[in-house]
Amino acid sequence: MTTPLVASVGWTVSHWFYRIDRARWRALSDDDRRAAIADTSAWITRASAEEGLQLIPLAMIGKADVGFMAIHSDLWRHQQLSQEISATGLGACLEPVYSFLSLSEASEYMSTDADWSRTLIDEQQVDPASPDFATKMTAFRKRMSHYVEARLHPKLPDNFPIVCFYPMAKVRGESRNWYSLPFAERKKLMQEHGESGRKYATRLTQLITTATGIDDWEWGVTLFAGDLKAIRDVVYEMRFDPGSALYGVFGGFYVGIKFGGDELQSVLRL
C-alpha cells in the first residue's frame, strides 16, 4: 500500500475528458462489447459509491464524449482513478482530450473581521461597544467558518445535472498585469466579482479550484446547474466586472450531463 499524499490544505480535484474511438469500438466482437459495457458500468457504480470519493461521470457535448470529475483527499487515489478508467473495458477505446488537476481553496480575498467591523461601524452605524456589535461579529465569524469549510471540503450538489468546466487565469500583459496590482485593489475587484455571482446562488452551484504550479492554468471553475441558460447568464454577466473584463483569461469550456453506471450504454450509444 502506498502512503497517502494528502494536501496540507484542501482536497485534490481532477477533471478528465475523453473521445471514444468508434472505429476501435466497432472492431470488437459483440461479446467483447457486452463485456466492456458490463465491466465499465460496474466500475462507475462501484467508484461512485466509494467512501471518501466524489466521482461524477459526464456525458459530454461537443468537445468530448465522456468525462469524469473526481474529488478525493489523497493524490494517489487520483492517480489510481485515471488508470482505472483506462483499464476498464471501454477505457481501451478512449482517447484523452483534456485533463485538469487542481486543489480546493478558500479565497485569499474573503472578508476579514476588520472588513466586517468597518462595515458595521461606517455603513450600519453600529456602536462597537454595544451588544449588537458583538452579536453581529459572532454571526459573521460563524458564516465565514461555514464558507471556508465549504470551499476547502466541498460537497458536490446532487440536484443539478448539467456541469460546465473551464480553466482561467489572470492577465500578465505589458499594459495590464493582475499581479502588479496592490492587494487591496485586487481584493476590491474580486469582492465586486463575487457579488455578481451570488445573485445566481439559487440557479447554480460554483466550485473554484486553484491550479497554479499544478496545471497550465491558474484556476478551474466548475458550474453545476439545472438550466443551461443559468450557466450562460452568470458567465456573461460576470465578464463585465473589471476583474474579468480587464484581467480575466479563459480556456475552453466543457459541458456535460451527469449519468449513472447503469445508463452507460444508452447515454454513449455503445
Which residues are identified as catalytic? 166
Please answer whether residues 17 and 252 qualify as being in contact, where contact means their C-beta atoms are separated by less than 8 angstroms: no
User: Distance between alpha carbon 111 and the CA centroid of its chain, in Å?
Assistant: 22
- Of 229, 232, 202, 207, the closest CA to residue 220 belongs to 207
What is the C-alpha to C-alpha distance for residues 61 and 65, in angstroms, rounded to an integer?
A: 7
DSSP 242-260: HHHHTTEEE---EEEEE--
Helices 228-238, 183-198: crossing angle, 10 deg rounding = 150
What is the C-alpha to C-alpha distance for residues 51 and 223, in angstroms, rounded to an integer?
A: 23
What is the C-alpha to C-alpha distance for residues 253 and 165, in angstroms, rounded to an integer?
A: 6
HSE, side-chain direction, 13 A CA sphere, residue 139: 7
What is the C-alpha to C-alpha distance for residues 95 and 20, in angstroms, rounded to an integer?
A: 6
C-alpha cell read off for 94: 478512449
The CA-based diameter of the chain, rounded to the nearest angstrom, is 79
- Name residue 246's amino acid: L
- Of 228, 185, 220, the closest CA to residue 204 belongs to 228
129 exposure class (CB count in 10 Å sphere: 0-12, 13-18, 19+): exposed
User: Distance between alpha carbon 46 and the CA centroid of its chain, in Å?
Assistant: 22
